[in-house]
Amino acid sequence: MKIFDKYGCPSYISFDHDLGANSKTGFDIVKDMVERDLNKRGRWIPKNFTYDVHSANPVGKKNIIGLLDNYLEKRK
């Protein structure tokens, strides 16, 4: 994720799951974010981070919310 390499993690993201053919999904982006945060010992995703999921894909939306909510809750 080149934009994360250049700018770091923003304090707010609105996620979509389906990003187009032959593209990573929003869930892939969330997995990358969690991995980066784990590698930085919980210091990469800002403490004030918030997000929305505007995806029309109900399964993808549920997966994004589930991973982020669970990770951020355990990171506290």
For residue 53, the SS3 value is strand
Rounded CA-CA distance 69/66 in Å is: 5
| Integer CA distances (angstroms), 54 to 2, 61, 64, in order | 22, 8, 11
Q: pLDDT by residue (tens digit) across 24-45?
A: 999 999 999 999 999 999 999 9
- Per-residue pLDDT at 22 exceeds 90: no
What pLDDT score does 76 carry? 85
Name the percent of the chain lying above pLDDT 90. Answer: 92
> Rounded to the nearest 5°, which phi and psi values hold at 41?
55, 45
* Residue 21 pLDDT grade (very low, low, confident, very high; cuts 50, 70, 90): confident
Q: List the beta bridge partners of residue 53.
A: 15
CB 9 within 8 A of CB 49: yes
pTM: predicted TM-score of the whole model, two decimal places: 0.93
